[in-house]
Amino acid sequence: MEQLHIIGGHRLSGKIRISGAKNAVLKLMAASLLVENECIIRNVPLIKDVLTMIEVLRSLGVELSWEEEAVLRIKPKKELHFFAPDELVREMRASVQVMGPLLTKVGKIKLFQPGGCVIGQRPIDLHLKGFQALGAEVVEEHGYVYAQAHKLKGVDIHLDFPSVGATENIMAAAILAEGATVIKNAAKEPEIIEEQNFYNRLGARIRGAGTDTIRIEGVSSLRSIPVDYTVIPDRIETGTYILAAAITGGDVTLVDVIPEHFEALTSKLKESGVKISIDGDMVRVCADSKLKAIDATILPYPGFPTDLQPQMTAVMSLAEGTSLITENVFGGRFRYVDELVRMGANIKVEGRSAVVKG
């Protein structure tokens, strides 16, 4: 799809069921490389990134099939390949998440360097430093990453930044390492808790996900048992619908949500005047009054998520007063501002901040 035609000026209302979390599904699909039997993953969204990851895994020697709507069956072969086609890695940055599982299962990897993306440079140096700390030999050459390890050994690793991808890749690489691995300044995202739970189902010994310190006790092998896992709802999709309701003055109910996963957003919107009520796994958003400008600082989880920063900036362009949106996760994430200005928004970018006059 090359174009979206949007007819604006309408208040959103109704009830929506939230999909499974993309950022959890992609990582669990990569994690399935360590499954000795087979696994079923439920609540899988049918989106392009999932379809690309299916092709990545097939290229590595994994059998995948759709059992029914949103249910994916995965069965790795005994012998896996250690590299994926360049075009697939270029197509989706999340393909780097196969590195940790492959290093554990096969003992070596070759992967095209993903480089940056439209929201700025996102190098994988923290992933590679983690592999080296565990004892892997890592070489970067001619645009590729090569890594090899005969036997990884547990170690304490302190991340310079709480990178989600690095935390996940190091966690996967440490599962069968000799001894204990401790990841300090680890990312705390709910998707990492999902991976911990998934790996522990297989017989891994991981604890601490959701905190800044994760401890992995290496095990000699994983269980050869089938795994049936249901993915958590997507907190970014949830937040996007919440903000869409806010900007249109809508009244929207979202079902199958985990409210504590988006508290940073709802607390800010309540401050802005949006009415938000929570009942179990449902949240109702009612924006029937003029929004007030608020400031928001973008931080790693549990702070305000960077993936909702553009939507929040758009909402604040219609609020009364001046807002300051400060981005502390990804540089270059204000590139969309020029387009909002073309639509009539009054926004000025100053370094890592956007000054939004409603």
Which contacts (CB < 8 Å, 24+ apart) does range 272-276 have?
272/246, 272/315, 272/316, 272/319, 274/245, 274/246, 276/242
CB atoms within 10 A of CB 79: 7
| Both structure tokens of 148 | 């090899």
Omega within 30 of 0 (cis) for the link into 302? yes
Write out the catalytic residue numbers.
117
> Side by side, which strands form the sheet with 62-68?
62-68, 71-76, 39-42, 227-230
Whether 316 and 347 have beta carbons less than 8 Å apart is answered as: no
Contacts of 159 (CB under 8 A, 6+ apart): 126, 130, 166, 167, 183, 184, 185, 186, 187
Calpha distance 269→260 (Å, rounded): 15
290: how many CB neighbours lie within 10 A of its CB? Answer: 12
H or E element: which one contains 191? helix 190-201
